[in-house]
Amino acid sequence: MTDKTPLIVHCGLCKHEWAAFYLPMVVDDVAKIALSMHCPMCAEGAMEIFTGPAPVDKLNTSAERVKKTGES
């Protein structure tokens, strides 16, 4: 049995983080997923999705995001 490791990504716009897929995975499948990826929170396209957790900055708490973007 193979251990699966989540690849954590984040949205550059709203800083939402999620597990995009689990590794190991066939490289062709990873490419297909990465090219069609959208943020589940704000629907931003693949060009604003980055690997790893969102950087901690001035706008990285839920309350601050809601205040700035109006999302609920």
| The total number of residues written for the chain in this structure | 72
| pLDDT score recorded for residue 56 | 74
The pLDDT of residue 69 is above 70 = no
The pLDDT of residue 21 is above 90 = yes
Number of domains making up the chain: 1
| pLDDT score recorded for residue 70 | 58
What residue numbers bound the domain in which 46 lies? 5-69
The tally of CA atoms less than 13 A away on the side-chain side of residue 58 is: 2
- The whole model's pTM is what? 0.70
The pLDDT of residue 6 is above 80 = yes
Nearest in space to 23 (alpha carbons), one of 6, 1, 2: 6
Nearest in space to 50 (alpha carbons), one of 10, 21, 6: 10
